[in-house]
């Protein structure tokens, strides 16, 4: 019996020819990631273990991105823990206000995560990098500390679930809609501690940006990781960014999957996840006059160039509804600069949007767009739990950038086909 792409990557990093689901293995790590929140918790744990330094100052990456620029004194003190430790350990890859971006967009952009890697991060959406054909997963603070100190971590090999997407991608439907639709079908625990492997002709046609979005939200189905086999598009993305060798893995034809799902998405509408679960998905046409107060376009899920271009195409020459606040957050400084050069920032501002420096800010209710009691937000982020973006009675509706931009114009959840 052959192996899946996830099993092959783990086997290679465990120094063994074969692994099987359920097996406990010790794995070497290529990248260990922490942000301003998780570094501040992991660093004291690392010191409790008796370590004062990291295993490799080129493989441990710190990105200050959640409360950056610092929102208050507490956030500033929290960030200072990471800043001081990075300086003491002479971390080669340390990113702060002015150089940082949202971590899961920044690392691929900088060529720090590559096909065939094993990557852990102190953030649940570390699974994003599976779009490059890497095994990438979020871990807790103790595991993060151990990975930072030793460069190794144990894993239970996850069983794999195969998702095959057939047909042709409809207009205004992107990777965000595919993953929302999928989570809606299998539920928030439908892939618990499993590898979600995305395949099929539709996935092959997806842009690299949309692939990142799909893998980013695998964790919303409870998955250990999301992954897509690398191809020529991925080769084109990484070849001029990579600073070290990388390796393409693919699943064997006779690999064993716990389950296989097939979806024909030719007639799929843009999707909206209603409160308060990412699995509570509906077609946008089912949103019946739901008035909104705010729109957020950004995050590690949908703050890339493709997302900004889609939103700008819809907003160009139009005005945002007078009672809707729109916050646009380019995910990295490079994306911000490119958006300026392409005229997208001018389009957003002329339409009436606020444009922010890169930050996770509103996604988790940190700053830059916190919701008041009873307010509703259409957001291109990844979670809509109770109180996720602010007050416990606020509501978050998850969608792609096309629905978000159309809703900003209409003042209610809107189908982009109404506008364009």
pLDDT in tens, 324-350: 999 999 999 999 999 999 999 999 999
CA 261 to chain centre: 22
Least confident piece of the model among 108-117, 318-327, 354-363, 370-379: 354-363
Apex CA 262: angle with CA 258 and CA 264, to 5°? 165
Mean pLDDT value across residues 146-161: 97
Q: Which fold has domain 273-419?
A: Aconitase; domain 3 (3.30.499)
Q: For CATH 3.30.499.10, list the domain ranges present in the chain.
A: 5-262, 273-419
Mean pLDDT value across residues 175-193: 97
Which pLDDT score, from 0 to 100, does residue 44 have?
A: 96
pLDDT of residue 231 exceeding 90: yes
Band of pLDDT at residue 55, cut at 50, 70 and 90: very high
Cα–Cα dist 293/325, whole Å: 6
Mean pLDDT value across residues 290-316: 98
Which pLDDT score, from 0 to 100, does residue 363 have?
A: 87
Which pLDDT score, from 0 to 100, does residue 49 have?
A: 95
Which pLDDT score, from 0 to 100, does residue 79 have?
A: 94
Mean pLDDT, all residues of the chain:
96
Band of pLDDT at residue 48, cut at 50, 70 and 90: very high
Which pLDDT score, from 0 to 100, does residue 134 have?
A: 98
Establish how many alpha carbons lie within 13 A of residue 70's alpha carbon, considering only the half-sphere containing its beta carbon. 13
Tell me which of 3.30.499.10, 1.10.260.40, 3.40.50.620, 3.40.50.980 is the CATH number of domain 5-262: 3.30.499.10
Cα–Cα dist 117/107, whole Å: 13
If you search the block for the tokens 């999957």, which residue do you land on?
A: 257
Which pLDDT score, from 0 to 100, does residue 1 have?
A: 84
Which pLDDT score, from 0 to 100, does residue 201 have?
A: 97
Mean pLDDT value across residues 85-106: 96
pLDDT of residue 263 exceeding 90: yes
pLDDT of residue 278 exceeding 90: yes
* Phi, psi values for residue 228, rounded to 5°: -130, 130
Band of pLDDT at residue 71, cut at 50, 70 and 90: confident
* Phi, psi values for residue 377, rounded to 5°: -135, 135
Of 61, 65, 60, 62, nearest in space to 97 by CA: 65
Band of pLDDT at residue 22, cut at 50, 70 and 90: very high
Which pLDDT score, from 0 to 100, does residue 366 have?
A: 86
Which pLDDT score, from 0 to 100, does residue 261 have?
A: 98
Band of pLDDT at residue 53, cut at 50, 70 and 90: very high
pLDDT of residue 227 exceeding 90: yes
Mean pLDDT value across residues 52-81: 94
Mean pLDDT value across residues 261-274: 97
The tokens describing 335, both together, are 């994306």
Of 200, 163, 167, nearest in space to 267 by CA: 167
SS3 90: coil
Q: Residue 312 carries which DSSP code?
A: H
Mean pLDDT value across residues 70-80: 92
């Amino acid at each position: 019996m052959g192996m899946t792409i996830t099993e092959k990557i783990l086997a290679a990093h465990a120094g063994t020819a074969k692994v099987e689901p359920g097996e406990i293995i010790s794995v070497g790590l290529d990248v260990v990631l922490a942000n301003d929140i998780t570094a501040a918790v992991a660093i004291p744990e690392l010191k409790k273990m008796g370590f004062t330094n990291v295993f490799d100052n080129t493989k441990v990456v710190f990105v200050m991105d959640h409360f950056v620029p610092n929102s208050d004194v507490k956030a500033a003190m929290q960030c200072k823990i990471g800043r001081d430790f990075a300086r003491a350990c002479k971390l080669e890859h340390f990113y702060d206000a002015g150089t940082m971006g949202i971590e899961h967009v920044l690392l691929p952009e900088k060529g720090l995560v590559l096909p065939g890697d094993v990557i852990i991060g102190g953030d649940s959406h570390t699974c994003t990098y599976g779009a490059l054909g890497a095994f990438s997963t979020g871990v807790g603070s103790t595991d993060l500390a151990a990975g930072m100190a030793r460069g190794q971590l144990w894993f239970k090999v996850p069983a794999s679930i195969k998702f095959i997407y057939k047909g042709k991608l409809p207009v205004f439907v992107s990777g965000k809609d595919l993953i929302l639709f999928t989570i809606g079908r299998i539920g928030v625990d439908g892939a618990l501690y499993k590898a979600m492997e995305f395949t099929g002709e539709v996935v092959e046609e997806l842009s690299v940006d949309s692939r990142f979005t799909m893998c980013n939200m695998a964790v919303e189905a409870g998955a250990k990781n999301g992954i897509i086999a690398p191809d020529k598009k991925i080769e084109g993305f990484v070849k001029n960014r990579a600073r070290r060798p990388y390796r393409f893995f693919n699943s064997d034809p006779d690999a064993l999957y716990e389950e296989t799902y097939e979806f024909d998405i030719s007639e799929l509408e843009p999707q909206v996840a209603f409160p308060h679960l990412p699995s509570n998905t509906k077609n946008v046409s089912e949103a019946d006059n739901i008035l909104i107060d705010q729109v957020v376009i950004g995050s590690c899920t949908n703050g890339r160039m493709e997302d900004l271009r889609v939103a700008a195409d819809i907003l160009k020459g139009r005005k945002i509804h007078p009672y809707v606040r729109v916050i646009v957050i380019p995910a990295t400084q490079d994306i911000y600069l490119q958006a300026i050069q392409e005229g997208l920032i001018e389009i957003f501002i002329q339409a009436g949007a606020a444009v922010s420096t890169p930050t996770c800010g509103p996604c988790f209710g940190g700053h830059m767009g916190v919701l008041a009691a009873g307010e509703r937000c259409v957001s291109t982020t990844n979670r809509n739990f109770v109180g996720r973006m602010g007050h416990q009675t606020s509501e978050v509706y998850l969608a792609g950038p096309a629905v978000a931009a159309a809703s900003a114009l209409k003042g209610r959840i809107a189908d982009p086909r109404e506008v364009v």
